[in-house]
Amino acid sequence: MPSISREELLRALGRENLTLVEVLPREYYERAHLPGAVSIPADEIASLAPSLLPDKQASIVTYGLNFTWQAAQQATRELITMGYASVREYEEGKQDWIAAGLPLEGENLIEPLPKEGPSRFLTHLTAAQRSILQQPPTKV
């Protein structure tokens, strides 16, 4: 999967026209998200991406909570399959961004990280997405 590090993302935010996509459930996006990010929960990529990401040539970066949560990887894969040409995943995700002391936007910046484990987020995915996430990761 094409990925981007925090340092690369920070540089790209300063010079590229890119869209950040948080794939966590909307309640976590509303609580706190990376500046300028849009919310497209992992289980809504197919239905929301065409209207929220109309330019298939635009630079897109997906992110979730951290590298152990594979929802962003799945969203990246799905967007590429849908014909988006420049999609990368910020594997370290929101947790890394917060640990670096970088700014967030949202309603509750005091406690932005969920207390639940990955299994909580699996309930928001379709059966096909859960099946894909349960497969061992592949190296590209």
The answer for residues whose C-beta is within 8 angstroms of residue 32's C-beta and 6 or more apart is 94, 104, 105, 106, 107, 108, 109, 112, 113
pLDDT of residue 129: 47
Q: Class for domain 6-133, per CATH?
A: alpha beta
Q: What is the pLDDT along the chain (140 residues), one digit of tens a residue?
A: 789 999 999 999 877 789 999 999 999 899 899 999 999 999 999 999 999 999 999 999 999 998 777 889 999 999 999 999 999 999 999 999 988 989 899 887 665 555 444 444 444 445 554 454 455 544 44
Task: For 62-88, give one letter per residue: b (16+ CB within 10 A) or e.
Answer: bbbbbbebbbbbbbbbbbeeeebebbb
Pair 32, 114: CB distance under 8 Å:
no
Total-model pTM? 0.77
Domains in the chain: boundaries: 6-133
60 strand-pairing partners = 19, 87
